[in-house]
Amino acid sequence: MEKSRGIGYGKTILFGEHFVVYGLPAIASAISDCTVAEVEAGEPGTGITLIDNRPQVDGYKETKKDEIALEMEALQKHFRLDAAKTPLKITLSGNLECASGVGASAALASSIARAVGAHFNLDLTDEQINEAAYAAETAGSGTPSGIDNTCSTYGGMLVFEKNMQGGKNKIELLGVKRPLDIVLASTGITQETKKVVADVKMEKEKNPEKFRKVFEEYRQVFDDALPALREGDAAKVGKLMDRNQELLRKITVSCDEVEKVISVAKKNGALGAKLTGTGRGGLVICLAENKAGQGKVAAALEKAGYGARKTLLGGK
């Protein structure tokens, strides 16, 4: 039976998670690991069957099962799929290990959107795939900014700014002089993005003045980070990542385990380290000075019992 394939990249946020939900600009990068979706005709009467063979950190799929079901429902609605008339078998695989912070739900959505488009010969543009993935992310995670699905669909390093009036979001591909040697460390804790984003919203409503100041400070971090990245000033990028992390602590999205990972990374020469994505667990992004530094940080993290994955951001 003929199978149609689609891929969706994982992502990591260098600057601006959570702030991006409120219209502040963020910088994120796709990583080369991706989710692969295969769509084929299903047996009559079976509706839409999802076979999820993606690798995961322990417990991820169980914690995310409601979110995944909502995403699937939204994709079915978006593409007006009549499961009774055209049963589908959707199989997920790929080398993106599902964990909080890596954009796994967005990769699921954009890979399936791409594969469904191919299956029905819809000739979808990236923009249309991104729209479908955003609809799925909205159903799954409440009020997403759209940064995850954008990275997952387009790939590359980019500046993303949500249009708070509901129009087109700003997406600008970012060229960097020197790619970044990164270690993505896993705390092993899975969080629900929806819940953490809702908690931050509550916190913001309780403390508007505190958030106004934090947003102002973040804006400065972003303004300094953009030229530092473009010029390949890794030491400066690292310092700014640390400052971004301080602000994330203030808005209550860090946690002990994230802080432990950061401390191991910094003691072993990381130029900067911060949580990436949802927070309160998930992944920590650590910037190393060079390849040797990257090896040292990764080895120290592994020795301390954390998963550590080396990756290069902004490379060709």
Q: Quick one: which segment of 16-24, 56-64, 216-224, 288-296 binds ligand MEV (CB under 6 A)?
A: 16-24
Burial letters for 143-155: b for 16+ Cβ neighbours within 10 Å, e otherwise?
ebbbbbbbbbbbb
Q: Return the residue of 24, 147, 237, 286 that touches ligand MEV, per CB under 6 A.
A: 147
Site string for ligand MEV, 30-69 (x = CB under 6 A): ----------------------------------------
How many residues bind ligand MEV (CB under 6 A)? The answer is 13
* Shortest spacing between CB 270 and ligand MEV, in angstroms: 21
Tell me if 144 contacts ligand MEV by CB under 6 A: yes
* Shortest spacing between CB 18 and ligand MEV, in angstroms: 5
Give every CB contact of residue 7 below 8 A, 6+ residues apart in sequence: 34, 35, 36, 37, 94, 111, 114
Residue type for 155, please? G
Q: Return the residue of 193, 245, 254, 294 that touches ligand MEV, per CB under 6 A.
A: 193
Segment 226 to 285, residues that bind ligand MEV, using CB under 6 A: 277-278
Give every CB contact of residue 145 below 8 A, 6+ residues apart in sequence: 20, 21, 26, 160, 162, 169
* Shortest spacing between CB 100 and ligand MEV, in angstroms: 8
Query: Which residue, 43 or 205, has its beta carbon nearer to ligand MEV?
Result: 205
| CA-wise closest residue to 168 among 197, 211, 131 | 131
Measured distance CA(184)–CA(308) in Å, rounded: 6
Tell me if 145 contacts ligand MEV by CB under 6 A: yes
Tell me if 190 contacts ligand MEV by CB under 6 A: no
CB–CB of 104/67 below 8 Å?
A: no
CB–CB of 278/191 below 8 Å?
A: yes
Residue type for 47, please? G
Give every CB contact of residue 200 below 8 A, 6+ residues apart in sequence: 18, 21, 251, 252, 253
| CA-wise closest residue to 261 among 309, 227, 229, 216 | 309
Q: Quick one: which segment of 13-21, 32-40, 74-82, 288-296 binds ligand MEV (CB under 6 A)?
A: 13-21
List Cα–Cα distances, 311 to 52, 114, 127, 308, in angstroms.
Answer: 25, 25, 27, 10
Site string for ligand MEV, 82-101 (x = CB under 6 A): --------------------
Q: Quick one: which segment of 78-86, 143-151, 241-249, 300-308 binds ligand MEV (CB under 6 A)?
A: 143-151
Query: Which residue, 20 or 225, has its beta carbon nearer to ligand MEV?
Result: 20
Strands 170-173 vs 157-161: parallel, antiparallel or unpaired = antiparallel
Q: Return the residue of 8, 18, 151, 237 that touches ligand MEV, per CB under 6 A.
A: 18
Q: Which residues lie near ligand MEV (CB under 6 A)?
A: 17-18, 20-21, 103, 144-145, 147-148, 193, 197, 277-278
